[in-house]
Amino acid sequence: MYRCYFIPNQCKDLFEAATFKTLVFENHGEKVELEVPELTPEMVSHVIETIKNQQQNYLRTLKTNDVIEVMDQAVQKWLNPQYELRQLAEQMLPVITGYDKEMVRLYISRYFRQFRKEKLQRMIDEDFPNPLILDEFRPRKSGGLYRAYGPELITHIFSGNVPALPLWSLTAGVLLKSATFGKVSSSEPLFSVLFAKTLREIDPQLAETIAIVSWKGGEVDLEKLSFSQSNAVIAYGGKEAIDQIKEKVPSHVSFHAHGHKVSFGMLTKECLAATKVWRTAKLAAHDVSWFDQQGCLSPHVFFVERGGKYGPREFAEMLANEMENFQSIHPRAALSEEEQHAIVSQRSSLEFESFESKTMNLIKSDGNTVWTVVYRELKTNNREELFPFSPLNRFITVIPVDNILEIKQYIRGIVGYIQSVGVGCSPQRLTSIISMLGDAGVNRICAVGSMPHPQPGWHHDGRFHLADLVRFCDVESSLEDQMDEFDPYRD
Amino acid sequence: MALKVFQFQYEHNQPFRKFCRKRRVSPRKVKHYTEIPPVPIDAFKLTTLSCHPIEEAKALFMTSGTTNPEKRGKNYHRDLEIYDLSMKTHFKSHIIPDMDKMKMFVLFPTEEEMPNSSLAHYLHIAINTFGTEDSQYAFSKEGFEIDSFIEELQKQQEPILLIGATFSFIHLLDECKERGIRFNLPTHSRIMDTGGSKGRSREMTPEVFRQEMSELFSIPPELCVNMYGMTELSSQIYDRNLLDFYKDHPISTRKQTPHWVKTVIMDLEKMEEKAPGEKGIIVHYDLANINSVMAILTEDMGVQEEDGFYLLGRAKGAEAKGCSLAVEQFIASSKNSEGES
């Protein structure tokens, strides 16, 4: 039994008397039980008052570099495999999420490397040409002075589909010297709590500005209370959840939503050259299989160009082969009956279709649902044909195209919802491809094989990561110029 | 017997044969009916599953196709001899075990109105075989004649059977609640509903439905039976409570199949039977489904118990973990609304 919440030490007594609810997770033949406190409006307002005070009295007075230093030390601790909280996470996260243990372990290392000192600095430099404005008024190039203020308090509504994902917005808040009121998802409530504990080990004062708790989404009283006390609300979730949250956010509070998105991959014929094709298939299999395709960054479809040494149909076979290899190294999570059913019924529909059509081929793992590759020719100019969404959990469709730029017509239906596109192409093709994708509203274009791993400083959902959150204060040059007139020491 | 039916369907139903071959299953290999690969009900929409040329088919039953009218599941029947026999035998034992005929009120349109509805045919057989002369439909060409039906119900002296779609009962219930009407039906009156409430009326769990019906008509809850049927099957499955009631058995509300239907709760990952008490996807083996395929993979979740199974609802539309799935639903729903406007 692990008590899974984080609050300032000053509020400890209040939570000792709380009633607790147990969340039980079972996977890989193991069981994890987490105890979370049931919150009352009194508890919430007390916690918020505390972290806000602490933000005013302490965190606000730190320099950005001090904060980076604290974050970096925390990240260094997590990069050490012997670190006890990391070991705890490695042991419990696979049971909580069902993901393969080895994949979680690799992911933690890979992920935390994205938050080292120089990456944190990059995150800031990306958004602020002069990072010192986060600490003091600095001259503007156009004259006058300016300074950027982070929100005093940010409420974060975290999602739980990929573990440790909350670190992105958590880091953003701390870097901007904001107090953090985080609501974790009941499907993965652990990671943020552990990371906050690490921050406490390094800077107990800073940790007093953080609270990580949970409640059932839609609890009007608690949400209204925390939103109205915040300067910004960051929420991850589905359209419905986001809409519901949005309704409760008062107009003077800024709202930053990360709704659901889809991703896909595309490969030009050069990637299917005899010496390259296996490597391409391996990279594509990685993108599909990583976190069982649960992230917004995971591809639903690979568009593959004809005319290479190998054709899209052969590529689908190779991809299937590499999916099997990935499965043998990192087995997919066990699925609920609903998820299994989604795969089985989609597979059988395709199968019956393939009896009557030569333009379709279904390749699937034997005797289970662990991976599925569908090769399918889409009819052009057929408005009815929707982008073939995957039921996820390692189910991918390969669609052949004569020219890669043709995909424009297939993605028409999802414009506005495209998150990442993993591209495999030769240098000669780059410009035309990225122009086409940019026009289609794509937020992020990366190399095939890197889809699940965005780089620090990326514009998540096409927005500034940090700059969107701050408030600027401009001091115009008129004042600078005019004040000399009133200088008593003026000669 | 099951293996003979399988052999017949394997030989005469081409898409099904391909389906089996892909799974390396053939009549020579199969030793037990659970080894026959169940066909997902979606297949009835995508392909023609019939052992005889469809021109010879006497009847074609289609699913309502609420989501996509162009893609309706089709079950062809060469003749309805077996269907009707299956229906009568099981209906008798689970709905009117205590008498030969009964006065019926049907809360559903007639067979003439809905020629491709298996339920309309089912009700037609019910009323013709087990209904007394004065039995009647509560539906006319104009739809549910709710006013005259309420009047009629208040006059009844003999036990009656109200039989029809769940959503019609719910409409009646709401109407009566609004008007403050309750009925005092004669002893041994009973109701049988089918189809569930989802999509067609406000939703209600089977437990609440039973309770509400029992109160509305003043009949014991044991005499409310839900029939579980599918266009893709040729047999029906009933709650066993009414039979238990008349046989003085302890009352169970589990669903009971006739002896020519086996219902198995499957683990889809391994394609093997789940232990009793564990939830899984429902698979039916219906020997009466002679012309199409006997093994059907449904979209329903259920749990097997010693004395029958119970339903947990649909497996589709379940909350998915992956965040991009919701986009699909959203885009699909906005497409639909575009089409409507």
Q: What is the dihedral of CA A409, A415, A417, A419, to 10 degrees?
A: 70
Q: Is residue A465 part of a domain?
A: no
3-state secondary structure at position A148 = strand
Q: What is the rounded CA–CA span in Å between residue A303 and residue A399?
A: 5
B322–A393 C-beta distance less than 8 A: yes
Closest by Cβ to B326, choosing from A260, A294, A349: A260
For residue A324, how far is the Cα from the chain centroid? 26
Q: Is residue A457 part of a domain?
A: no
Q: Are A5 and A213 contacting, i.e. CB atoms less than 8 angstroms apart? A: yes
Average pLDDT, chain B: 85
Residues 367-386 of A with CB under 8 A from B: 367-369, 386
Predicted confidence band at B336 (pLDDT cuts at 50, 70, 90)? Answer: very low
The reported pLDDT for the residue numbered A259 is 83
Supply φ then ψ for residue A137, to 5 degrees: -70, 135
The reported pLDDT for the residue numbered B62 is 87
HSE toward the beta carbon, residue B280, CA cutoff 13 A:
23
The alpha carbon of residue A269 is apart from the nearest alpha carbon of chain B, in Å, by: 28
Q: What is the rounded CA–CA span in Å between residue A309 and residue A292?
A: 30
Q: Which amino acid is at B160?
A: I
Structural domains of chain A, count = 2
Which DSSP letter does residue A6 get? B
Residues 421-480 of A with CB under 8 A from B: none
Q: Is residue A159 part of a domain?
A: yes
The neighbour count for residue A416, using CB atoms within 10 Å, is: 10
Q: Are A173 and A156 contacting, i.e. CB atoms less than 8 angstroms apart? A: yes
Q: Which amino acid is at B257?
A: T
Quick check: B290 contacting A, CB < 8 Å? no
User: Which residues contact residue B98 at a Cβ distance below 8 angstroms, ignoring those fewer than 6 apart?
Assistant: B188, B246
More confident residue, A124 or B65: A124
Provide, rounded to the nearest whole percent, the portion of chain B with pLDDT above 90.
42
Across the A:B interface, residue pairs with CB atoms under 8 Å apart total: 123
Closest by Cβ to A369, choosing from B269, B331, B332: B269
Q: Is residue A29 part of a domain?
A: yes
| A77, pLDDT greater than 60 | yes
Predicted confidence band at B329 (pLDDT cuts at 50, 70, 90)? Answer: low
Strands (E), B130-254: 136-137, 139-140, 143-144, 160-165, 190-194, 224-228, 237-239
Q: Are A157 and A236 contacting, i.e. CB atoms less than 8 angstroms apart? A: yes
More confident residue, B315 or A266: A266
Q: What is the rounded CA–CA span in Å between residue A146 and residue A477?
A: 10
Asked whether residue A154 falls in the same domain as residue A246, the answer is yes
The reported pLDDT for the residue numbered A166 is 86
CATH number of A222's domain: 3.40.605.10
More confident residue, A92 or B71: A92
Q: Which amino acid is at B149?
A: F
Name which of A334-348, A399-413, B84-98 the model is least confident about: A334-348
More confident residue, A235 or B331: A235
B268–A369 C-beta distance less than 8 A: yes
B15–A355 C-beta distance less than 8 A: yes
The reported pLDDT for the residue numbered B65 is 60
Q: Is residue A213 part of a domain?
A: yes
- Residues of chain A with Cβ-Cβ distance to B328 below 8 Å are 262, 389
| B321, pLDDT greater than 80 | no
Q: What is the rounded CA–CA span in Å between residue A35 and residue A22?
A: 4
Asked whether residue A284 falls in the same domain as residue A302, the answer is yes
User: Which residues contact residue A207 at a Cβ distance below 8 angstroms, ignoring those fewer than 6 apart?
Assistant: A8, A9, A196, A197, A199, A200
The reported pLDDT for the residue numbered B319 is 40
Give the tens place of pLDDT for each residue, A314-336: 999 999 999 999 999 999 988 88
User: Which residues contact residue A466 at a Cβ distance below 8 angstroms, ignoring those fewer than 6 apart?
Assistant: A123, A124, A126, A127, A128, A172, A175, A176
B40–A348 C-beta distance less than 8 A: yes
Cα dist. B144→A155, A242, B108, B155, B213 in Å?
Answer: 53, 41, 8, 19, 18
| B45, pLDDT greater than 50 | yes
Give me the helix-helix angle, A191-202 and A84-97, nearest 10°. Answer: 170
| Surface-to-core class of residue A239, CB atoms within 10 Å of its CB (0-12 exposed, 13-18 middle, 19+ buried) | middle
The reported pLDDT for the residue numbered B326 is 53
The reported pLDDT for the residue numbered A296 is 84
The reported pLDDT for the residue numbered A220 is 86
More confident residue, A122 or A385: A122
A353–B323 C-beta distance less than 8 A: no
- Residues of chain B with Cβ-Cβ distance to A391 below 8 Å are 320, 325
The alpha carbon of residue A392 is apart from the nearest alpha carbon of chain B, in Å, by: 7
The reported pLDDT for the residue numbered A241 is 84
For residue B73, how far is the Cα from the chain centroid? 14
| B67, pLDDT greater than 60 | no
| B196, pLDDT greater than 80 | no
| Surface-to-core class of residue B1, CB atoms within 10 Å of its CB (0-12 exposed, 13-18 middle, 19+ buried) | exposed
* Gyration radius (Cα) of chain A, Å: 25
| A interface test, pick of B20, B41, B272, B327 with most A CB neighbours within 10 Å | B327
| B18, pLDDT greater than 50 | yes
Give the tens place of pLDDT for each residue, B212-265: 999 999 999 999 999 998 888 999 999 999 999 999 988 888 899 999 999 999
Cα dist. B38→A263, A344, B27 in Å?
Answer: 34, 11, 14
Mean pLDDT over B317-328 rounds to: 48
Quick check: A8 contacting B, CB < 8 Å? no
| B317, pLDDT greater than 50 | no
The reported pLDDT for the residue numbered B68 is 58
B331–A414 C-beta distance less than 8 A: yes
Mean pLDDT over B264-293 rounds to: 88
Q: Are A143 and A477 contacting, i.e. CB atoms less than 8 angstroms apart? A: yes
| Surface-to-core class of residue A299, CB atoms within 10 Å of its CB (0-12 exposed, 13-18 middle, 19+ buried) | buried
Residue B100, Ramachandran bin (φ over 0: left; ψ between -120 and 50: alpha; else beta): alpha
Q: Which amino acid is at A92?
A: M
* Gyration radius (Cα) of chain B, Å: 21
Straight-line distance from the first to the last Cα atom of chain A, in angstroms, rounded to the nearest whole number: 74
Asked whether residue A179 falls in the same domain as residue A272, the answer is no
Q: What is the rounded CA–CA span in Å between residue A358 and residue A350?
A: 12
Pick from A220, A235, A260: which residue ends a domain? A260
Asked whether residue A238 falls in the same domain as residue A371, the answer is no
Tokens 């500005």 locate to: A209
Quick check: A327 contacting B, CB < 8 Å? no
Closest by Cβ to A368, choosing from B269, B319, B331: B269
Cα dist. A203→A5, A54, A66, A153, B33 in Å?
Answer: 18, 13, 10, 19, 66
User: Which residues contact residue A57 at a Cβ distance below 8 angstroms, ignoring those fewer than 6 apart?
Assistant: none
Predicted confidence band at B338 (pLDDT cuts at 50, 70, 90)? Answer: very low
Asked whether residue A75 falls in the same domain as residue A139, the answer is yes
Mean pLDDT over B170-199 rounds to: 89
Residue B262, Ramachandran bin (φ over 0: left; ψ between -120 and 50: alpha; else beta): beta
Average pLDDT, chain A: 92
Provide, rounded to the nearest whole percent, the portion of chain A with pLDDT above 90.
70
Asked whether residue A254 falls in the same domain as residue A348, the answer is no
Nearest Cα residue to A52 out of A11, A16, A107, A98:
A11
Pick from A202, A228, A260: which residue ends a domain? A260
Q: Is residue A349 part of a domain?
A: yes
The reported pLDDT for the residue numbered B318 is 40
Two structure tokens written together for B147:
């006013």
Asked whether residue A133 falls in the same domain as residue A246, the answer is yes
Residues 295-324 of A with CB under 8 A from B: 295-296, 298, 300
The alpha carbon of residue B116 is apart from the nearest alpha carbon of chain A, in Å, by: 23
Asked whether residue A266 falls in the same domain as residue A209, the answer is no
Q: Is residue A128 part of a domain?
A: yes
Give the residue numbers spanning the domain of A389: 262-442
Run of H or E residues at A388: none
Q: Are A421 and A397 contacting, i.e. CB atoms less than 8 angstroms apart? A: no
Asked whether residue A284 falls in the same domain as residue A158, the answer is no
| A382, pLDDT greater than 70 | no
Q: Is residue A491 part of a domain?
A: no
Which DSSP letter does residue B131 get? B
Asked whether residue A389 falls in the same domain as residue A249, the answer is no
The reported pLDDT for the residue numbered B332 is 55
Give the tens place of pLDDT for each residue, B130-167: 999 999 999 888 888 889 999 999 988 999 999 998 88
Quick check: A351 contacting B, CB < 8 Å? yes
More confident residue, A336 or A122: A122
Q: What is the rounded CA–CA span in Å between residue A459 and residue A481?
A: 37
- Angle (nearest 5°) at CA A477 between A472 and A480: 110
Question: Within chain B, what is the greatest distance between any pair of CA atoms?
Answer: 64
| B75, pLDDT greater than 70 | yes
A161–B322 C-beta distance less than 8 A: yes
Asked whether residue A197 falls in the same domain as residue A60, the answer is yes
Closest by Cβ to B323, choosing from A238, A369, A386: A238
The reported pLDDT for the residue numbered B199 is 63
Nearest Cα residue to A411 out of A386, A446, A390:
A386
Q: Are A372 and A343 contacting, i.e. CB atoms less than 8 angstroms apart? A: yes
The alpha carbon of residue A370 is apart from the nearest alpha carbon of chain B, in Å, by: 9
A295–B40 C-beta distance less than 8 A: no
Cα dist. A446→A442, A454, B125, B218 in Å?
Answer: 11, 8, 64, 68
| Surface-to-core class of residue A379, CB atoms within 10 Å of its CB (0-12 exposed, 13-18 middle, 19+ buried) | exposed
Two structure tokens written together for A49:
């008052």
Strands (E), A247-387: 254-258, 262-267, 299-305, 360-364, 372-376
Nearest Cα residue to A76 out of A100, A450, A68:
A68
Predicted confidence band at A50 (pLDDT cuts at 50, 70, 90)? Answer: very high
A414–B326 C-beta distance less than 8 A: no
Name which of A109-123, A327-341, B316-330 the model is least confident about: B316-330
CATH number of A337's domain: 3.40.309.10
Give the tens place of pLDDT for each residue, A144-173: 999 999 999 999 999 887 888 889 899 999
Asked whether residue A150 falls in the same domain as residue A230, the answer is yes
